[in-house]
Amino acid sequence: MLPRLVCISDYEEHARSVLQKSVYDYYKSGANYQETLADNIRAFSRWKLYPRMLRNVADIDLSTSVLGQRVSMPICVGATAMQCMAHVDGELATVRACQTMGTGMMLSSWATSSIEEVAEAGPEALRWMQLYIYKDREVSRQLVKRAEQTGYKAIFVTVDTPYLGNRFDDVRNRFKLPPQLRMKNFETNDLAFSPKRNYGDNSGLAEYVAQAIDPSLSWDDIKWLRRLTSLPIVVKGILRGDDAREAVKHGVDGILVSNHGARQLDGVPATIDALPEIVEAVEGKVEVFLDGGVRKGTDVLKALALGAKAVFVGRPIIWGLAFQGEKGVQDVLEILKEEFRLAMGLSGSLENKRYQGELNLQLALYLWLRGPALLHWWIYSEPSYLTFSFDKPISEVFVSKRTLMVARSDLFSPRAGPWSLGPSVPHSPHFYSYCLALNSGTLFDFPVQAKPVDSDSRMSLEFTHTAHSPPPFFGSPWSFVTSSPACAVTRVF
């Protein structure tokens, strides 16, 4: 009898027990010391949901659109390579499950089922094509044309892989495809990552990327791709606002905020932490999506509340595939869908278009850098003084154990953590004094002044503190962050 699996972590534990070690390690592992791999999941817990009550959530609409195509829920399947290592039906099982669930699937260029086979297996499924830019541009061009001819609805071009990330487990295992498998979108053994080829003592995939993928990829290649196809183009792998703005300038239709499942550069931000900056940067001109770390329905809700149009999941699909093929993938999607439905109902949200109008999120305890610099502010003796500029007007105030976020507010009501702010004392229209307290004991006082700097709504904040000894949590730097139209650290959307 098969075990009863009720959450995504159950599926992963089962997959660990049934997959060959090198295969499980390939799917599971991240780059280097896997700091970002862990943080992709952990970061979601730093964002807190504050639900609305008495909202009549009897009828909840989960549906949305992605690049103009309707899906039953904002949970789509991301590009995960070589799925036949997890189950004999591989990508064919996945696309059939997506067709049943009414959601979209992004097919990896490195699939162990071909573009045409996947289209035939899921003729009614919403399918997108993930693309690498090969040194031989004709290889990439042919992939795009085959996708067009078989009904794929968009191209997701991966831009974060000029070289393959250093994945220790793959090096230890000398990873390569099992003998019976190959990347079926390519004809030659070299491009098909054939196990017949000798890849030496390194990760075979690292050798493959070095041989085939073009590290000279630039924005000119996005122009080339834009000329090549009329399909919507989504740039996959953006983590910075300036890159997002550049992508918009180059005519893309969407941005997938992604760190490649933490498999490329270790130490980059978790995608949920990078998301608000991207959403702000594109100013609603293109759709923004997110992948990385999504394991629960509340993760989906938080991503959408921070501005994502939909999320993509990868590893959970593999764990479902390893468990029971098509049915396992369908069950994983069903779990995420029902968790998301419950999260919406309990948060007081009714439909996709109202996510950002209904939710209040707060970032607690830790924060990745969101401002223009990371400020090391040590308090040892006499009062210190500083001025800090923000790109947007400030709207809220919150102090947590290691993160200071300051904004204009007449009264702050603390909602998380042991650190709290007392009521502000107005000194002028834009000047307030706050008292940082630990439980009932005053730790130190500091005034906060927000004043216009120039005509484009930039604000300058001035801080003065009077502590004569360092607070106990000052072993780490403090981060200063801005609010934005899409997200603030504590904000009613």
Distances (CA, A) of 197 to 170, 190, 192, 200: 17, 7, 10, 9
What is the distance between the alpha carbons of residues 409 and 424, in angstroms, rounded to a whole number? Answer: 8
In the block, residue with structure tokens 């019976």: 180
Quick one: which of 402, 398, 365 has its CA closest to 491? 398
Are the C-beta atoms of residues 175 and 26 closer than 8 Å to each other? yes
Q: How many CB atoms lie within 10 A of CB 233?
A: 24
C-alpha angle 188-194-196 in degrees, rounded to nearest 5: 110
What's the N-to-C CA distance of the chain in angstroms?
47
Would you call 430 a catalytic residue per the annotation?
Answer: no
State the pairing for strand pair 441-452/459-464: antiparallel
> Does the CA dihedral 284-79-344-66 come out positive or negative?
positive
What is the distance between the alpha carbons of residues 270 and 261, in angstroms, rounded to a whole number? Answer: 9
Q: For 138, which DSSP code?
A: H
Quick one: which of 395, 445, 397, 436 has its CA closest to 418? 436
Alpha-carbon radius of gyration of the chain: 24
Burial 350-371 (b: 16+ CB within 10 A, else e): bebeebbebbbbbbbebbbebb
Quick one: which of 2, 99, 120 has its CA closest to 329? 99
Q: What tokens appear for 69 in the block?
A: 């195509």
What is the distance between the alpha carbons of residues 423 and 436, in angstroms, rounded to a whole number? Answer: 10
Q: Which residues pair with 360 in a beta bridge?
A: 50, 492
Residue of 14, 87, 260, 465 marked active site: 260
Q: Which residues pair with 105 in a beta bridge?
A: 77, 127
Q: How many CB atoms lie within 10 A of CB 450?
A: 19
Q: What residues contact residue 261 under an 8 Å CB cut-off, 6+ apart? A: 30, 37, 40, 291, 292, 314, 315
Q: What residues contact residue 164 under an 8 Å CB cut-off, 6+ apart? A: 203, 205, 206, 208, 209, 210, 264
Q: What tokens appear for 268 in the block?
A: 């980059």
| Residues with catalytic function | 260
